[in-house]
Structure 1
Amino acid sequence: MFIPFEQKLYKATFIERPNRFILHCKLDEEGEMVRVHLPDPGRLKELLQYGATIYLRYSDKKDRKTKWSAVLVHDPLDGTLVSLQTTLVNHLIEKALKENKLKDFEQFTYKAREYRKGRSRWDFYVSKGDLHHLIEVKSVSLGVKGVGYFPDAITKRGTKHVQELTSIVTEGSEWLGTILFVCQRNDLHSVRPAKHIDPTFAKALQEAKHRGVNLLAYSTNITPEGISLMDEIPVLVKED
Protein backbone atom coordinates (compact mmCIF):
# COMPACT_ATOMS: atom_id res chain seq x y z
CA MET A 1 0.00 0.00 0.00
CA PHE A 2 1.76 3.15 -1.26
CA ILE A 3 0.83 6.83 -1.52
CA PRO A 4 3.25 8.99 -3.54
CA PHE A 5 4.14 12.60 -2.91
CA GLU A 6 2.67 14.07 -6.07
CA GLN A 7 4.67 17.30 -5.96
CA LYS A 8 8.42 17.85 -6.01
CA LEU A 9 10.04 18.17 -2.59
CA TYR A 10 12.67 20.81 -1.92
CA LYS A 11 15.48 20.21 0.57
CA ALA A 12 15.92 22.88 3.22
CA THR A 13 17.41 23.55 6.64
CA PHE A 14 15.21 24.20 9.67
CA ILE A 15 15.96 27.50 11.41
CA GLU A 16 13.18 28.23 13.89
CA ARG A 17 9.53 27.69 14.79
CA PRO A 18 7.92 31.00 15.80
CA ASN A 19 4.56 29.34 16.51
CA ARG A 20 2.77 25.97 16.34
CA PHE A 21 1.95 26.19 12.64
CA ILE A 22 4.81 28.22 11.15
CA LEU A 23 8.47 27.39 10.49
CA HIS A 24 11.32 29.46 9.12
CA CYS A 25 13.57 27.42 6.84
CA LYS A 26 16.45 28.06 4.45
CA LEU A 27 16.26 26.46 1.00
CA ASP A 28 19.43 24.49 0.28
CA GLU A 29 19.71 25.35 -3.42
CA GLU A 30 18.78 29.03 -3.45
CA GLY A 31 19.81 29.91 0.10
CA GLU A 32 16.50 31.77 0.44
CA MET A 33 14.74 32.07 3.78
CA VAL A 34 11.11 30.97 3.48
CA ARG A 35 8.04 30.95 5.73
CA VAL A 36 6.57 27.44 5.95
CA HIS A 37 3.23 26.00 7.06
CA LEU A 38 3.58 23.10 9.52
CA PRO A 39 0.66 20.64 9.24
CA ASP A 40 1.58 18.88 12.50
CA PRO A 41 0.85 21.11 15.54
CA GLY A 42 2.47 18.62 17.95
CA ARG A 43 5.42 19.47 20.17
CA LEU A 44 8.02 17.89 17.83
CA LYS A 45 10.76 19.14 20.14
CA GLU A 46 13.07 16.21 19.37
CA LEU A 47 12.74 16.69 15.60
CA LEU A 48 12.62 20.43 14.98
CA GLN A 49 16.10 21.33 16.11
CA TYR A 50 18.18 24.08 14.52
CA GLY A 51 19.99 22.78 11.44
CA ALA A 52 17.74 19.75 10.87
CA THR A 53 17.24 18.70 7.24
CA ILE A 54 13.65 19.23 6.17
CA TYR A 55 11.72 18.66 2.91
CA LEU A 56 9.23 21.25 1.69
CA ARG A 57 6.44 21.37 -0.88
CA TYR A 58 5.68 24.51 -2.88
CA SER A 59 2.21 25.77 -3.80
CA ASP A 60 1.26 28.83 -5.83
CA LYS A 61 -2.43 28.82 -4.88
CA LYS A 62 -3.63 32.40 -4.39
CA ASP A 63 -5.68 31.67 -1.25
CA ARG A 64 -2.68 30.36 0.72
CA LYS A 65 -1.02 32.54 3.34
CA THR A 66 2.23 30.59 2.94
CA LYS A 67 3.62 29.18 -0.30
CA TRP A 68 5.54 26.39 1.39
CA SER A 69 4.49 23.37 3.50
CA ALA A 70 6.66 21.02 5.56
CA VAL A 71 6.46 17.39 4.44
CA LEU A 72 9.37 15.44 5.95
CA VAL A 73 12.21 15.95 8.40
CA HIS A 74 15.30 13.90 9.25
CA ASP A 75 15.49 13.04 12.94
CA PRO A 76 18.65 14.92 14.04
CA LEU A 77 19.61 12.03 16.32
CA ASP A 78 19.74 9.17 13.81
CA GLY A 79 18.71 10.56 10.42
CA THR A 80 15.43 8.65 10.23
CA LEU A 81 12.88 10.21 7.90
CA VAL A 82 9.74 11.40 9.71
CA SER A 83 6.52 12.62 8.11
CA LEU A 84 5.18 15.99 9.28
CA GLN A 85 1.78 15.52 7.63
CA THR A 86 -0.59 14.12 10.25
CA THR A 87 -3.44 13.59 7.76
CA LEU A 88 -1.27 11.56 5.39
CA VAL A 89 -1.74 8.36 7.39
CA ASN A 90 -5.53 8.82 7.23
CA HIS A 91 -5.35 8.76 3.43
CA LEU A 92 -3.16 5.66 3.67
CA ILE A 93 -5.61 3.85 5.96
CA GLU A 94 -8.61 4.92 3.86
CA LYS A 95 -7.00 3.41 0.77
CA ALA A 96 -6.13 0.22 2.66
CA LEU A 97 -9.70 -0.15 3.98
CA LYS A 98 -11.27 0.45 0.58
CA GLU A 99 -8.94 -2.08 -1.04
CA ASN A 100 -9.42 -4.58 1.82
CA LYS A 101 -5.70 -4.68 2.70
CA LEU A 102 -5.98 -4.69 6.51
CA LYS A 103 -6.27 -8.13 8.06
CA ASP A 104 -8.37 -7.03 11.03
CA PHE A 105 -11.03 -5.52 8.75
CA GLU A 106 -11.12 -8.06 5.90
CA GLN A 107 -14.71 -9.04 6.71
CA PHE A 108 -15.93 -5.45 6.94
CA THR A 109 -17.23 -3.12 4.24
CA TYR A 110 -15.96 0.46 4.07
CA LYS A 111 -18.85 2.85 4.70
CA ALA A 112 -17.75 6.37 5.58
CA ARG A 113 -15.05 8.78 6.65
CA GLU A 114 -15.62 11.37 9.41
CA TYR A 115 -18.64 9.42 10.68
CA ARG A 116 -20.64 11.00 13.51
CA LYS A 117 -21.58 8.79 16.45
CA GLY A 118 -22.26 10.17 19.91
CA ARG A 119 -20.56 13.52 20.50
CA SER A 120 -17.66 12.97 18.09
CA ARG A 121 -16.72 12.34 14.51
CA TRP A 122 -14.72 9.17 13.95
CA ASP A 123 -12.10 8.78 11.26
CA PHE A 124 -13.68 5.71 9.67
CA TYR A 125 -16.82 3.61 9.90
CA VAL A 126 -16.98 0.05 8.53
CA SER A 127 -19.67 -2.59 8.98
CA LYS A 128 -20.51 -6.27 8.56
CA GLY A 129 -24.24 -7.06 8.64
CA ASP A 130 -25.57 -5.74 11.95
CA LEU A 131 -22.05 -5.25 13.33
CA HIS A 132 -20.68 -1.70 13.28
CA HIS A 133 -17.03 -0.71 13.73
CA LEU A 134 -15.54 2.73 14.43
CA ILE A 135 -11.85 3.37 13.73
CA GLU A 136 -9.90 6.30 15.16
CA VAL A 137 -6.42 6.86 13.66
CA LYS A 138 -3.53 8.32 15.67
CA SER A 139 -0.30 9.48 14.02
CA VAL A 140 2.94 8.52 15.83
CA SER A 141 5.99 10.70 15.18
CA LEU A 142 7.85 10.45 18.50
CA GLY A 143 10.28 7.53 18.63
CA VAL A 144 12.96 6.44 21.09
CA LYS A 145 15.19 3.42 20.35
CA GLY A 146 12.63 1.82 18.04
CA VAL A 147 9.61 2.44 20.28
CA GLY A 148 6.92 4.87 19.16
CA TYR A 149 5.19 6.99 21.78
CA PHE A 150 1.82 8.72 21.58
CA PRO A 151 1.09 11.51 22.24
CA ASP A 152 4.11 13.81 22.05
CA ALA A 153 2.18 16.51 23.96
CA ILE A 154 -0.80 16.48 26.33
CA THR A 155 -3.94 15.72 24.30
CA LYS A 156 -7.27 16.34 26.01
CA ARG A 157 -8.99 15.76 22.67
CA GLY A 158 -7.24 12.40 22.25
CA THR A 159 -8.22 11.31 25.75
CA LYS A 160 -11.83 12.34 25.09
CA HIS A 161 -11.87 10.22 21.92
CA VAL A 162 -10.55 7.17 23.74
CA GLN A 163 -13.03 7.54 26.60
CA GLU A 164 -16.01 8.06 24.31
CA LEU A 165 -15.06 5.11 22.10
CA THR A 166 -14.82 2.98 25.24
CA SER A 167 -18.35 4.03 26.21
CA ILE A 168 -19.71 3.21 22.74
CA VAL A 169 -18.10 -0.25 22.74
CA THR A 170 -19.51 -1.08 26.17
CA GLU A 171 -23.04 0.08 25.23
CA GLY A 172 -23.82 -3.05 23.28
CA SER A 173 -22.36 -5.94 21.31
CA GLU A 174 -23.29 -4.44 17.93
CA TRP A 175 -20.63 -1.70 18.17
CA LEU A 176 -16.88 -2.32 17.96
CA GLY A 177 -14.06 0.20 18.19
CA THR A 178 -10.38 0.38 17.24
CA ILE A 179 -7.66 2.88 18.08
CA LEU A 180 -5.24 2.54 15.16
CA PHE A 181 -1.74 3.97 15.62
CA VAL A 182 0.16 4.57 12.36
CA CYS A 183 3.87 5.29 12.50
CA GLN A 184 5.10 8.45 10.79
CA ARG A 185 8.71 7.25 10.81
CA ASN A 186 10.69 4.25 9.55
CA ASP A 187 12.38 2.95 12.68
CA LEU A 188 9.57 1.77 14.98
CA HIS A 189 8.86 -1.85 16.00
CA SER A 190 6.23 -1.17 18.72
CA VAL A 191 4.02 1.61 20.07
CA ARG A 192 3.35 2.63 23.68
CA PRO A 193 1.24 5.32 25.32
CA ALA A 194 3.53 8.18 26.40
CA LYS A 195 2.76 7.97 30.10
CA HIS A 196 5.66 10.31 30.89
CA ILE A 197 4.04 13.01 28.74
CA ASP A 198 0.29 12.45 29.25
CA PRO A 199 -0.54 10.00 32.05
CA THR A 200 -4.27 10.72 31.67
CA PHE A 201 -4.26 9.54 28.06
CA ALA A 202 -2.20 6.46 29.02
CA LYS A 203 -4.71 5.55 31.73
CA ALA A 204 -7.65 6.04 29.35
CA LEU A 205 -5.99 3.79 26.75
CA GLN A 206 -5.35 1.09 29.33
CA GLU A 207 -9.00 1.24 30.42
CA ALA A 208 -10.13 1.12 26.79
CA LYS A 209 -8.16 -2.06 26.16
CA HIS A 210 -9.51 -3.62 29.36
CA ARG A 211 -13.10 -2.88 28.27
CA GLY A 212 -12.81 -4.26 24.77
CA VAL A 213 -11.50 -1.50 22.50
CA ASN A 214 -9.10 -2.97 19.93
CA LEU A 215 -5.60 -1.44 19.82
CA LEU A 216 -3.64 -1.76 16.57
CA ALA A 217 -0.46 -0.26 15.17
CA TYR A 218 1.22 -0.33 11.78
CA SER A 219 4.73 0.57 10.71
CA THR A 220 5.46 2.54 7.55
CA ASN A 221 8.29 3.08 5.11
CA ILE A 222 8.87 6.74 4.25
CA THR A 223 11.05 8.03 1.41
CA PRO A 224 11.18 11.36 -0.47
CA GLU A 225 8.96 9.65 -3.06
CA GLY A 226 6.08 8.67 -0.74
CA ILE A 227 4.84 6.56 2.15
CA SER A 228 4.06 2.83 2.30
CA LEU A 229 2.00 0.97 4.89
CA MET A 230 4.05 -1.95 6.16
CA ASP A 231 3.56 -4.44 9.01
CA GLU A 232 1.33 -4.69 12.04
CA ILE A 233 3.37 -4.07 15.19
CA PRO A 234 2.41 -4.49 18.87
CA VAL A 235 0.77 -1.85 21.04
CA LEU A 236 2.27 -2.27 24.50
CA VAL A 237 -0.12 -1.12 27.22
CA LYS A 238 1.06 -1.92 30.71
CA GLU A 239 -1.63 -3.35 32.97
CA ASP A 240 -1.61 -2.02 36.53
Structure 2
Amino acid sequence: MKFSPPLVRGTLVKRYKRFLADVTLEDGSIVTAHCPNTGAMTGCAEPGYTVYLSESDNPKRKLKYTWELAKTFDDHFIGINTHNANKLVAEALDNKVLDEFSHIDTWKAEVTPPTANSRFDFALTHQDTTEYMEVKSVTLRDTDKGYFPDAVTQRGAKHCLELARLAQSGIKTSLLFCVQHTAITSVHIAKHIDPNYAQSVKTAADAGVAILAARCTIDEQKLILNQSLPVFL
Protein backbone atom coordinates (compact mmCIF):
# COMPACT_ATOMS: atom_id res chain seq x y z
CA MET A 1 0.00 0.00 0.00
CA LYS A 2 1.73 3.13 -1.24
CA PHE A 3 0.82 6.63 -0.16
CA SER A 4 -0.05 8.82 -3.10
CA PRO A 5 0.29 11.75 -3.06
CA PRO A 6 3.22 11.75 -0.60
CA LEU A 7 2.41 12.20 3.07
CA VAL A 8 2.86 15.54 4.81
CA ARG A 9 5.37 15.50 7.66
CA GLY A 10 4.88 17.24 10.99
CA THR A 11 5.27 17.03 14.75
CA LEU A 12 2.47 15.91 17.04
CA VAL A 13 1.24 18.54 19.49
CA LYS A 14 -1.54 16.45 21.03
CA ARG A 15 -4.30 13.96 20.32
CA TYR A 16 -7.66 14.76 21.92
CA LYS A 17 -11.36 13.92 21.80
CA ARG A 18 -10.33 10.55 20.30
CA PHE A 19 -10.69 11.69 16.69
CA LEU A 20 -8.60 14.87 16.62
CA ALA A 21 -4.87 15.61 16.59
CA ASP A 22 -3.05 18.93 16.43
CA VAL A 23 0.12 18.81 14.35
CA THR A 24 2.83 21.38 13.67
CA LEU A 25 3.81 21.21 10.00
CA GLU A 26 7.34 21.84 8.76
CA ASP A 27 6.42 25.40 7.74
CA GLY A 28 5.47 26.14 11.37
CA SER A 29 1.71 26.18 10.87
CA ILE A 30 -0.52 24.12 13.17
CA VAL A 31 -3.31 22.03 11.65
CA THR A 32 -5.97 19.78 13.13
CA ALA A 33 -6.03 16.31 11.58
CA HIS A 34 -8.56 13.51 11.76
CA CYS A 35 -7.32 10.64 13.95
CA PRO A 36 -8.74 7.40 12.45
CA ASN A 37 -8.15 5.31 15.55
CA THR A 38 -10.71 4.79 18.32
CA GLY A 39 -8.37 2.87 20.64
CA ALA A 40 -6.41 4.07 23.64
CA MET A 41 -3.34 4.54 21.40
CA THR A 42 -1.02 3.96 24.35
CA GLY A 43 2.53 4.78 23.29
CA CYS A 44 1.38 5.87 19.83
CA ALA A 45 0.45 9.50 20.42
CA GLU A 46 3.27 11.06 22.42
CA PRO A 47 3.66 14.82 21.95
CA GLY A 48 6.81 15.44 19.93
CA TYR A 49 6.51 12.33 17.77
CA THR A 50 7.17 12.84 14.07
CA VAL A 51 3.88 12.17 12.29
CA TYR A 52 2.77 11.81 8.69
CA LEU A 53 -0.56 13.04 7.34
CA SER A 54 -2.46 12.31 4.16
CA GLU A 55 -4.03 15.35 2.51
CA SER A 56 -7.48 15.45 0.92
CA ASP A 57 -8.68 17.88 -1.72
CA ASN A 58 -12.34 17.05 -1.02
CA PRO A 59 -14.02 20.40 -0.23
CA LYS A 60 -16.81 18.63 1.69
CA ARG A 61 -14.44 17.32 4.35
CA LYS A 62 -14.31 19.22 7.63
CA LEU A 63 -10.66 18.27 8.15
CA LYS A 64 -8.19 18.37 5.28
CA TYR A 65 -5.65 16.03 6.88
CA THR A 66 -5.76 12.44 8.17
CA TRP A 67 -3.12 11.08 10.54
CA GLU A 68 -1.56 8.00 8.90
CA LEU A 69 1.80 7.26 10.57
CA ALA A 70 3.82 8.09 13.66
CA LYS A 71 7.53 7.68 14.29
CA THR A 72 8.59 6.95 17.86
CA PHE A 73 11.51 8.56 19.64
CA ASP A 74 13.47 5.32 19.04
CA ASP A 75 12.76 5.51 15.29
CA HIS A 76 10.05 2.87 14.91
CA PHE A 77 7.10 3.47 12.61
CA ILE A 78 3.48 2.98 13.70
CA GLY A 79 0.46 2.74 11.42
CA ILE A 80 -2.14 4.94 13.10
CA ASN A 81 -5.02 4.46 10.67
CA THR A 82 -6.84 1.30 11.78
CA HIS A 83 -8.93 1.39 8.58
CA ASN A 84 -5.77 0.46 6.68
CA ALA A 85 -5.56 -2.96 8.34
CA ASN A 86 -8.18 -4.56 6.08
CA LYS A 87 -6.68 -2.89 3.01
CA LEU A 88 -3.28 -4.33 3.92
CA VAL A 89 -4.74 -7.81 4.38
CA ALA A 90 -6.59 -7.57 1.06
CA GLU A 91 -3.36 -6.59 -0.68
CA ALA A 92 -1.50 -9.47 1.01
CA LEU A 93 -4.20 -11.92 -0.11
CA ASP A 94 -3.98 -10.66 -3.69
CA ASN A 95 -0.19 -10.92 -3.71
CA LYS A 96 -0.15 -14.24 -1.79
CA VAL A 97 2.61 -13.07 0.54
CA LEU A 98 1.25 -14.84 3.65
CA ASP A 99 1.84 -18.59 3.53
CA GLU A 100 -1.23 -19.32 5.66
CA PHE A 101 -3.48 -17.92 2.93
CA SER A 102 -1.54 -18.71 -0.24
CA HIS A 103 -4.20 -21.29 -1.20
CA ILE A 104 -6.99 -18.71 -1.38
CA ASP A 105 -8.49 -18.19 -4.85
CA THR A 106 -10.86 -15.27 -4.22
CA TRP A 107 -12.10 -13.14 -1.33
CA LYS A 108 -14.95 -10.83 -0.41
CA ALA A 109 -14.95 -8.15 2.28
CA GLU A 110 -17.54 -7.57 5.01
CA VAL A 111 -19.50 -10.82 4.80
CA THR A 112 -22.06 -12.31 7.19
CA PRO A 113 -22.09 -16.14 7.05
CA PRO A 114 -25.56 -17.66 6.58
CA THR A 115 -25.60 -19.14 10.10
CA ALA A 116 -23.84 -16.30 11.95
CA ASN A 117 -24.97 -13.21 13.84
CA SER A 118 -21.85 -11.20 13.06
CA ARG A 119 -20.29 -9.77 9.93
CA PHE A 120 -16.66 -10.73 9.41
CA ASP A 121 -13.94 -8.84 7.60
CA PHE A 122 -13.29 -11.46 4.93
CA ALA A 123 -14.84 -14.50 3.30
CA LEU A 124 -12.05 -16.51 1.66
CA THR A 125 -12.77 -19.04 -1.07
CA HIS A 126 -10.68 -21.98 -2.22
CA GLN A 127 -12.33 -24.17 -4.86
CA ASP A 128 -15.78 -24.90 -3.35
CA THR A 129 -14.87 -24.10 0.26
CA THR A 130 -15.43 -20.80 2.06
CA GLU A 131 -13.68 -19.76 5.25
CA TYR A 132 -13.99 -16.60 7.33
CA MET A 133 -11.43 -14.21 8.79
CA GLU A 134 -11.59 -11.39 11.31
CA VAL A 135 -8.77 -8.80 11.37
CA LYS A 136 -7.53 -6.74 14.33
CA SER A 137 -4.95 -3.95 14.20
CA VAL A 138 -2.14 -4.13 16.78
CA THR A 139 -0.08 -1.11 17.86
CA LEU A 140 0.22 -1.48 21.65
CA ARG A 141 3.85 -2.25 22.46
CA ASP A 142 5.94 -3.18 25.48
CA THR A 143 9.59 -3.54 24.42
CA ASP A 144 9.30 -5.88 21.41
CA LYS A 145 5.98 -7.44 22.43
CA GLY A 146 2.70 -6.38 20.89
CA TYR A 147 -0.60 -6.59 22.78
CA PHE A 148 -4.26 -6.65 21.80
CA PRO A 149 -6.60 -5.14 22.77
CA ASP A 150 -5.44 -1.77 24.08
CA ALA A 151 -8.89 -1.18 25.62
CA VAL A 152 -11.86 -3.34 26.62
CA THR A 153 -13.65 -4.64 23.51
CA GLN A 154 -16.97 -6.42 23.91
CA ARG A 155 -17.38 -6.45 20.14
CA GLY A 156 -14.03 -8.19 19.74
CA ALA A 157 -15.01 -10.86 22.27
CA LYS A 158 -18.30 -11.43 20.43
CA HIS A 159 -16.44 -11.93 17.15
CA CYS A 160 -14.18 -14.53 18.77
CA LEU A 161 -17.12 -16.52 20.09
CA GLU A 162 -18.87 -16.36 16.70
CA LEU A 163 -15.70 -17.62 15.01
CA ALA A 164 -15.56 -20.44 17.58
CA ARG A 165 -19.15 -21.42 16.85
CA LEU A 166 -18.46 -21.56 13.11
CA ALA A 167 -15.31 -23.61 13.69
CA GLN A 168 -17.23 -26.09 15.82
CA SER A 169 -19.70 -26.52 12.96
CA GLY A 170 -16.86 -27.48 10.62
CA ILE A 171 -16.23 -24.12 8.93
CA LYS A 172 -12.61 -22.97 8.77
CA THR A 173 -12.06 -19.64 10.53
CA SER A 174 -9.16 -17.42 11.51
CA LEU A 175 -8.35 -14.38 13.62
CA LEU A 176 -5.51 -12.34 12.13
CA PHE A 177 -3.67 -9.67 14.11
CA CYS A 178 -2.32 -7.06 11.69
CA VAL A 179 0.72 -5.53 13.41
CA GLN A 180 1.27 -1.91 12.42
CA HIS A 181 4.35 -1.27 14.58
CA THR A 182 7.87 -2.03 13.37
CA ALA A 183 9.23 -2.71 16.89
CA ILE A 184 6.86 -5.62 17.56
CA THR A 185 8.18 -9.15 17.01
CA SER A 186 5.42 -11.18 18.72
CA VAL A 187 1.76 -10.73 19.63
CA HIS A 188 0.25 -11.39 23.06
CA ILE A 189 -3.34 -11.24 24.26
CA ALA A 190 -3.69 -8.38 26.75
CA LYS A 191 -5.20 -10.25 29.69
CA HIS A 192 -4.29 -7.36 31.98
CA ILE A 193 -6.48 -5.01 29.94
CA ASP A 194 -9.44 -7.20 28.97
CA PRO A 195 -9.55 -10.64 30.63
CA ASN A 196 -12.91 -11.38 29.01
CA TYR A 197 -11.44 -10.89 25.54
CA ALA A 198 -8.47 -13.08 26.47
CA GLN A 199 -10.84 -15.86 27.51
CA SER A 200 -12.82 -15.46 24.29
CA VAL A 201 -9.65 -15.84 22.20
CA LYS A 202 -8.74 -18.99 24.15
CA THR A 203 -12.24 -20.36 23.58
CA ALA A 204 -11.85 -19.66 19.86
CA ALA A 205 -8.44 -21.33 19.71
CA ASP A 206 -9.72 -24.39 21.58
CA ALA A 207 -12.58 -24.63 19.06
CA GLY A 208 -10.13 -24.71 16.16
CA VAL A 209 -9.96 -21.06 15.10
CA ALA A 210 -6.51 -20.27 13.67
CA ILE A 211 -4.96 -17.43 15.70
CA LEU A 212 -2.39 -15.69 13.49
CA ALA A 213 -0.34 -12.50 13.29
CA ALA A 214 1.54 -10.66 10.57
CA ARG A 215 3.62 -7.48 10.69
CA CYS A 216 3.94 -4.62 8.25
CA THR A 217 7.02 -3.13 6.73
CA ILE A 218 6.45 0.61 7.21
CA ASP A 219 8.14 3.78 6.03
CA GLU A 220 6.90 7.21 4.98
CA GLN A 221 6.13 5.96 1.46
CA LYS A 222 4.35 2.66 2.09
CA LEU A 223 2.83 -0.01 4.31
CA ILE A 224 3.22 -3.67 3.30
CA LEU A 225 1.91 -6.64 5.31
CA ASN A 226 4.52 -9.31 4.67
CA GLN A 227 5.94 -11.00 7.79
CA SER A 228 4.25 -13.68 9.92
CA LEU A 229 4.74 -13.36 13.69
CA PRO A 230 4.11 -15.76 16.59
CA VAL A 231 1.04 -15.32 18.81
CA PHE A 232 1.05 -16.17 22.51
CA LEU A 233 -2.27 -16.76 24.25
So what's the TM-score if we normalise by structure 2? 0.94
Gaps of 5+ in 1: none
- Who is 1:19 aligned against? 17
Whether the 8 Å contact between 2:157 and 2:200 is mirrored in structure 1 is yes
Indicate the SS of the match to 2:155: helix
Indicate the SS of the match to 1:11: strand
- Who is 2:148 aligned against? 150
Q: Which amino acid aligns with 1:63?
A: K
| Inter-partner Cα distance in structure 2 for 1:116 and 1:60 | 34
| Inter-partner Cα distance in structure 2 for 1:7 and 1:21 | 23
Q: Which amino acid aligns with 1:93?
A: V
List per-residue Cα deviations over 1:37-73 (Å, max 9, x = no partner).
Answer: 0111111132212222111121121111101110111
Out of 119, 122, 125, the residue aligned to residue 124 of structure 1 is 122
Indicate the SS of the match to 1:50: coil
Whether the 8 Å contact between 2:146 and 2:188 is mirrored in structure 1 is yes
RMSD: 1.4
So what's the TM-score if we normalise by structure 1? 0.91
Whether the 8 Å contact between 2:97 and 2:226 is mirrored in structure 1 is no
Whether the 8 Å contact between 2:164 and 2:208 is mirrored in structure 1 is yes
Aligned pair count reads 231
- Who is 2:52 aligned against? 55
Is the aligned partner of 1:31 residue 2:34?
no
Extract structure 1 runs of 4+ deviating beyond 3 A: none
Q: Which amino acid aligns with 2:212?
A: L
Out of 182, 191, 196, the residue aligned to residue 200 of structure 1 is 196
List per-residue Cα deviations over 1:107-144 (Å, max 9, x = no partner).
Answer: 33223111112222111111234432101111111111
Gaps of 5+ in 2: none
List per-residue Cα deviations over 1:6-27 (Å, max 9, x = no partner).
Answer: 1221221111223011111111
| Inter-partner Cα distance in structure 1 for 2:89 and 2:192 | 28
Is the aligned partner of 1:91 residue 2:99?
no
Task: Map 1:1-240 onto structure 2 (within 5 A).
Answer: 3-27=1-25, 29-76=26-73, 78-117=74-113, 118-170=116-168, 172-173=169-170, 175-237=171-233
| Inter-partner Cα distance in structure 1 for 2:131 and 2:224 | 24
Deviation, structure 1 residue 105:
2.1
Whether the 8 Å contact between 2:49 and 2:70 is mirrored in structure 1 is yes
